[in-house]
Amino acid sequence: MGELFGSLFAGVMIPWFLSTMINVRMTRYGYLYVVLPFFISMSSDTGGYFFGKFFGNQKAFPEVSPNKTVAGCVGGILSALIGAMLFGLMAYLLEGIRFNAFALIICGVIGSFASQLGDLAFSLIKRQCRVKDYGYILPGHGGVLDRFDSVIFSAPIIFMSAELFQIL
């Protein structure tokens, strides 16, 4: 059953989630919105890693992702907020577009949760398929897909949040 779920997820959900980026690119601020999931997800991943490394000792989801800690989850959210604000600052400095700081904060929190959920979903698929890493192109990082699993999962949710809360 796990292999079937993994195959359906990889074959249907990944392309569907990624196609969101094409649709969003065609919107008014699409050229900016396509980088928002990268700012939020990668900030969340990086912050979560460092917070977990330095402050984490309580495991958050040991059966699914044994290295993920509660401190890492909280640090991921805080770092995603910084990533969202950096996006807003970039939009203002490069394009002169004013941003809604409160909406960016909400989008950062929602995006971090979605990002971490995506990371856990892909970790669960790896566990079910008994695979440690997706590849060896990036040693120590779990492969290229592991760098983008949170972006794939969070992109549609971040885009919906950004539109709903009118961040730009």
- What is the percentage of the chain residues whose pLDDT exceeds 90? 40
Is the pLDDT at 140 greater than 80, yes or no? no
How confident is the model over 31-88, as pLDDT tens digits? 888 999 999 999 999 999 899 999 988 999 888 888 889 999 999 999 999 999 999 9
Q: Which two tokens stand for residue 100?
A: 């809604």
Beta carbons within 10 angstroms of residue 75's beta carbon = 24
How confident is the model over 6-29, as pLDDT tens digits? 677 667 777 888 788 888 888 888
Residue 157 CA to residue 159 CA, distance in Å, equals 5
Cβ neighbours of residue 93 under 8 Å, at least 6 residues apart? Answer: none
pTM: 0.84
